[in-house]
Structure 1
Amino acid sequence: MLVVETIAKIRRAYFVDGRPIKAICRELGVSRKVVRKVIRSQATEFRYERETQPLPKMGPWSSELDRLLAANQSKAARERLTLIRLFEELRGLGYTGGYDAVRRYARRWSRERGALTASAYVPLSFAPGEAYQFDWSHEVVLLSGVTVIVKVAHVRLCHSRMLFARAYPRETQEMVFDAHDRAFALFKGACRRGICDNMKTAVETIFVGKGRLYNRRFLQMCSHYLVDPVACTPASGWEKGQVENQVGLVRERFFTPRLRFKTLDELNAWLLEKCIAYAKAHRHPEFADQTIWEVFEAERPKLVPYAGRFDGFHAVPASISKTCLVRFDNNKYSVAASAVGRPVEVQAYADRIVIRQDGRIVAEHQRSFGRGETTYDPWHYVPVLARKPGALRNGAPFKGWVLPAAIERIRRRLASTDDGNRQMVDILNAVLTDGLPAVEAACAEALGHCVHSADVVLNILARQREPAPPANIMTPAALTLRHAPIADCARYDNLRRTI
Structure 2
Amino acid sequence: MLAMPEVNYIKHLRENEDLSINEIVRKTGKNWRTVKKYADGEVPLETLPFNKGGMMYEDGFGEIVDCWLEEDMKLKKKERRTNKKMFEQLRDEYSFKGSYRTVCDYVQHRRPKIKEERSTRYERLEHPPGEAQVDFGNMTVVKDGAYKDIKILILSFPYSNAGFAYPLPAENSECFLEGLKQLFKQARGVPTHLRIDNLTAAVLAIGKGEKRTYTDSFLRFQSHYGFEVQACNPASGHEKGNVEKKVGYTRNNFFVTAPEMEDFSQLASWMQVKMREDRNRPHYEKGIAIEQLWIEDEKQLKALP
Please give the TM-score of this superposition, normalised by the length of structure 2: 0.60
Corresponding residue for 2:266?
266
Alignment of 1:86-235 (within 5 A): 125-129=126-130, 131-235=131-235
**What do the CA deviations read for 1:72-96 (whole angstroms, capped 9, x no partner)?**
xxxxxxxxxxxxxxxxxxxxxxxxx
- Hey, what's the Cα distance between the residues in 1 that align with 2:78 and 2:183? 27
Displacement, 1:146?
2.2
Displacement, 1:39?
6.6
**What do the CA deviations read for 1:184-234 (whole angstroms, capped 9, x no partner)?**
112111122111110111110111222111111101111111111122111
Corresponding residue for 1:285?
284
Displacement, 1:133?
0.5
Q: Secondary structure at the match of 2:233?
A: coil
- Hey, what's the Cα distance between the residues in 1 that align with 2:201 and 2:179? 13
Alignment of 1:306-345 (within 5 A): 306-307=304-305
1:24 counterpart letter in structure 2: E
Structure 1 26/201 Cα, relative in aligned 2: closer, same or farther at 3 Å?
Answer: closer
Structure 1 277/39 Cα, relative in aligned 2: closer, same or farther at 3 Å?
Answer: closer
Structure 1 21/305 Cα, relative in aligned 2: closer, same or farther at 3 Å?
Answer: farther
2:166 counterpart letter in structure 1: R
1:217 counterpart letter in structure 2: S
Structure 2: state its 5+ residue gaps.
1-9, 25-75, 80-124
Displacement, 1:40?
6.1
Corresponding residue for 1:297?
295
Please give the TM-score of this superposition, normalised by the length of structure 1: 0.37
Contact 2:164 2:187 survives alignment (8 Å): no
Displacement, 1:22?
7.2
Structure 1: state its 5+ residue gaps.
1-18, 30-37, 42-123, 308-499
Displacement, 1:273?
0.6
Q: Secondary structure at the match of 1:262?
A: coil
- Hey, what's the Cα distance between the residues in 1 that align with 2:151 and 2:211? 28
1:136 counterpart letter in structure 2: F
- Hey, what's the Cα distance between the residues in 1 that align with 2:277 and 2:225? 27
Structure 1 26/136 Cα, relative in aligned 2: closer, same or farther at 3 Å?
Answer: closer
- Hey, what's the Cα distance between the residues in 1 that align with 2:300 and 2:246? 23
Among 15, 25, 28, the residue aligned to 2:16: 25
In terms of Rg, which structure is larger?
Answer: 1
Contact 2:157 2:163 survives alignment (8 Å): yes
2:128 counterpart letter in structure 1: A
- Hey, what's the Cα distance between the residues in 2 that align with 1:303 and 1:287? 21
Structure 1 272/26 Cα, relative in aligned 2: closer, same or farther at 3 Å?
Answer: closer
Corresponding residue for 1:237?
237
- Hey, what's the Cα distance between the residues in 2 that align with 1:39 and 1:126? 25
Corresponding residue for 2:32?
none
Question: Which structure dedicates a bigger proportion of its chain to helix?
Answer: 2
**What do the CA deviations read for 1:90-122 (whole angstroms, capped 9, x no partner)?**
xxxxxxxxxxxxxxxxxxxxxxxxxxxxxxxxx
Displacement, 1:167?
1.2
Displacement, 1:239?
0.5
Q: What percent identity do the matched residue pairs reach? A: 27
Q: Secondary structure at the match of 1:200?
A: coil
- Hey, what's the Cα distance between the residues in 2 that align with 1:23 and 1:176? 30
Contact 1:173 1:201 survives alignment (8 Å): yes
Q: Secondary structure at the match of 2:279?
A: helix
- In the alignment of these two chains, the number of paired residues is 197
Alignment of 1:451-466 (within 5 A): none
Contact 1:144 1:263 survives alignment (8 Å): no
Structure 1 27/174 Cα, relative in aligned 2: closer, same or farther at 3 Å?
Answer: closer
Contact 2:192 2:300 survives alignment (8 Å): no
- Hey, what's the Cα distance between the residues in 2 that align with 1:23 and 1:140? 47
**What do the CA deviations read for 1:333-355 (whole angstroms, capped 9, x no partner)?**
xxxxxxxxxxxxxxxxxxxxxxx
RMSD: 2.5
Alignment of 1:53-64 (within 5 A): none
- Hey, what's the Cα distance between the residues in 1 that align with 2:137 and 2:173? 15
Q: Secondary structure at the match of 1:190?
A: coil
Structure 1 265/40 Cα, relative in aligned 2: closer, same or farther at 3 Å?
Answer: closer
- Hey, what's the Cα distance between the residues in 1 that align with 2:178 and 2:209? 29
Displacement, 1:20?
6.8
Contact 2:135 2:154 survives alignment (8 Å): yes
Q: Secondary structure at the match of 1:223?
A: helix
Displacement, 1:286?
3.8
Displacement, 1:262?
2.3
- Hey, what's the Cα distance between the residues in 2 that align with 1:27 and 1:263? 43
Contact 1:143 1:264 survives alignment (8 Å): no
1:25 counterpart letter in structure 2: N
2:214 counterpart letter in structure 1: Y
